[in-house]
């Protein structure tokens, strides 16, 4: 599935970069490779983004290997790494890059770059609702859900994503304009 080339890296996207047109705004060479599962991590939302007018997604490590996050695996050129880092706010200490092992549907384990927020919430129970102050905007959540559908993530996972409550806000006009190009 994900053969490595010396001038590229694999990126595991679980948030708005699931959506092809979103990742290609800043990373036009991104090539969709397939999907994968990151075990021992929980999808959550924490830091408020003015661009999105809601919180952005993060992954929270957990000791429970049964908890996992599904995402898209993209191949990018090494020269795109600075643009991806900027998009994720590595320079502003919003996220940090980390290397993770992702399991493909074929059972292959691949090493990918991904991003985790520098400040993460405590783990939530499976039935615990996302607090109002940590909810994403409807635009951001739509990017995630539509990207999950576009990438053919497992149906059960898409159903879970659709249950995430949003804050009733839309993204900034500038962000909506970028998404509609």
Query: 63 φ, ψ to 5°?
Result: -80, -10
pLDDT in tens, 36-51: 999 999 999 999 999 9
**What does the domain layout of the chain look like in residue ranges?**
8-118+133-179
CA dihedral 80, 86, 89, 92 (to 10 degrees): 140
Which positions are annotated as active-site residues? 88
DSSP designation for 27:
-
25 compared with 142, residue with greater pLDDT: 142
Q: What is the pTM of this model?
A: 0.94
The CATH code for residues 8-118+133-179 is 3.10.490.10
- Stretch 49-55: mean pLDDT: 95
């Amino acid at each position: 599935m994900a053969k490595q080339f010396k001038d590229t890296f694999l990126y595991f996207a679980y948030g708005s970069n699931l959506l092809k047109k979103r990742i290609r705004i800043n990373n036009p060479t991104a090539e969709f490779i397939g999907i994968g599962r990151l075990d021992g991590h929980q999808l959550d939302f924490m830091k408020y983004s003015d661009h999105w007018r809601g919180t952005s997604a993060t992954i929270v490590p957990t000791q429970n290997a049964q908890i996992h996050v599904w995402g898209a695996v993209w191949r990018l050129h090494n020269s795109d790494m600075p643009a991806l880092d900027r998009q994720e706010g590595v320079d502003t200490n919003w996220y940090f890059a980390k290397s993770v092992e992702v399991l493909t549907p074929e059972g292959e384990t691949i090493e990918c770059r991904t991003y985790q927020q520098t400040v993460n919430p405590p783990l939530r129970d499976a039935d615990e609702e996302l607090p109002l102050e940590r909810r994403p905007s409807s635009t951001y959540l739509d990017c995630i859900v539509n990207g999950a559908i576009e990438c053919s993530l497992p149906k059960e996972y898409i159903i879970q994503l659709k249950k995430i409550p949003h804050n009733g806000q839309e993204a900034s006009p500038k962000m909506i304009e970028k998404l509609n190009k």
